Amino acid sequence: MTTISPLIAGNWKMNGLTSSLEELSALAQLLTTGEAPRAVVVVCPPATLLAAVAAQGASSGIMAGGQNCHVEAAGAHTGEVSAGMLADVGAQYVIVGHSERRADNHETDDLVRAKAEAAIGAGLKPIICVGETEAERDAGQAESVVAAQLASSVPDAAGQHEVIVAYEPIWAIGTGRTPSNDDIRQMHANIRDRLVERFGEKGAQIRILYGGSLKPVNAREILAIENVNGGLVGGASLLAKDFYTIISSV
């Protein structure tokens, strides 16, 4: 079986001011004085803090990531940030297709794939999000919905470049509810099968993260599930102590 080094990414969403960098310092302190983390650690702050997170995190091994990028490298796109701009200030990763952007900004699978391609083109590693709604799960469509998202959102370039897939059941994000461990195991196994089907041996090495109310209390058991190669953490990543507990659960 392929051994995949785990990755824990914190998505700060639209949270964080300059003062929040104190939490980053606290996290860095925990990571460097405690037991060495057995996971790659990524923090995805709002764009306003990205350069600071990249600079401040470097000494403790914390990598920086963006929360979104535009498909174009440059141009008349007021208010947008390109993948190259993220890379320019020190980002190494970028989240694309998060369910909140799919819902609030009407992002389609095709657009998400184009963003992932733009990220790869700029030398970033895209974290491509997929996941079903509660209605889709209740209708027994969870597997087919996620399979369709994977097919259309993950670019062919994933065969040659590093991409990460994040499975986030939409109904579990920020609600405190999580699927059963069996549900997570089954979905991650299905995702792995699809990736191997499409990309062969490379598909067996793509990290599949779990996201959706991943917290200190449930991290250890969820991160131990087969084909769960890390987590995409929301609210719990804003507090150094909570985020460190999740990182230490690997």
What CATH number has the domain bearing residue 151? Answer: 3.20.20.70
Q: How far is CA 98 from the centre of its chain?
A: 8
Name the band, by pLDDT with cuts 50, 70 and 90, for residue 1: low
pLDDT at residue 215 above 60? yes
Tell me the mean pLDDT in the region 184-193. 98
In a domain, 217, yes or no: yes
Percent of the chain with pLDDT over 90: 93
Q: Which domain holds residue 154?
A: 7-14+21-56+88-248
Instruction: Report the DSSP beta bridge partners of residue 207.
Output: 164
Name the band, by pLDDT with cuts 50, 70 and 90, for residue 233: very high
So which residues are the catalytic ones? Answer: 98, 168
Secondary structure of residue 106 in the 3-state scheme: coil
pLDDT at residue 51 above 60? yes
In a domain, 68, yes or no: no
In a domain, 64, yes or no: no
Give the chain's domain count: 1
Separation of first and last alpha carbons in the chain: 18
Strands (E), 14-121: 40-44, 62-66, 93-96
In a domain, 80, yes or no: no
In a domain, 26, yes or no: yes
Secondary structure of residue 137 in the 3-state scheme: helix
In a domain, 69, yes or no: no
Tell me the mean pLDDT in the region 10-37. 94
Name the band, by pLDDT with cuts 50, 70 and 90, for residue 2: low
In a domain, 240, yes or no: yes
In a domain, 174, yes or no: yes
